[in-house]
Amino acid sequence: MTVSLLVPVCDYDIVAIIYSMKGCLGKIPGFIEILIGDDGSSPEYKAKYKTLEGDGVRVISSETNIGRAAIRNRLALEARGDYLLYIDADAMIPGTAESFIQNWINHIGEARVMSGGILYHASPPGDPDKILRWKHGRRREQKKASYRNKHPYSLFSTFNVLIDRTVFEKLRFNEEIRQYGHEDTLFSYQLHKAGISILHVDNGLIHEGLESNRDYINKTKLSIENLSKLYDFITDKFMFASSVKMVRDYRMLHVFRLTLVLAGFFIRFRERMELKIDTAKPPLWIFDLYKISMFCTYRAIHRRRKTVPAFVL
């Protein structure tokens, strides 16, 4: 069995991690190539990626930004490996590249889809303006495989995932999703619906690209809006809710007729909550309240619009 490493990227410096991974080519049996998916980067970064080509490294370039789903699908089509190892551009290896790749090779055959996990530095970032992203990642995303396997679809991420290429005979990343947010959630739902199990293993990468508090709040808004739109397109809402905690919480609130109460709360107190979480010591419980009340608000908006779904999942 062979493995292709696929790195989708847009305007991010990946020179260090590609050089580390490149050293494994020819040393670890089965690890055959590295594909860089340049998704409409600026000329400066395109030039950087081109310097990495050769000796098993290829750049698959798009002149325009086609989106996270489309560039991942294109990489899958170009790859030669039996297994496709996707990692995000802002990942960092906690140990050596050799041990990371070898660990994945050792797990081949255990499942068709395997998630390695996300790690965060133990110490907070030096810039206090990045505390919210780090704190949320440490408390909500960094989990041992034993815990993640209890909720395999809920805690799935394509940040660091090994996928049997035969999965792509049945599924693709949905290219209709262009706005940031919950692409992983959608793919997890598709896997669940197709009866493809997910195995979580402890082979994590460190999430290095922390956004500022304000940027993370803005990305959170986009992702929650996207989740609300996705919810309208999903056919099996019960299965979708079983994989997404925010949707489960929303459905429970809906039973007790509290969703409009929270939507009103969000409209009234949004700015105050944002001031509380955009600090050097953000309370995560306020961030959680901010997100679920925002989701209730978007649900109220989208239900009133009654738009015809552009696609059905």
pLDDT tens string 35-82 = 999 999 999 999 999 999 999 999 999 999 988 889 999 999 999 999
Alpha carbon distance 251, 296 (integer Å): 10
Please tell me the predicted confidence (pLDDT) of residue 179.
62
What is the CA angle 56-59-63, rounded to 5?
A: 170
The string of pLDDT tens digits covering residues 164-188 is 999 998 899 988 776 667 888 999 9
In the chain, what are the domain boundaries?
A: 3-210, 215-305
Question: What was the pLDDT predicted at 176?
Answer: 78
| Class of domain 3-210 (CATH, top level) | alpha beta
Residues of the chain where predicted confidence (pLDDT) is lower than 70 = 178-180, 305-313
Residue 140: predicted pLDDT: 95
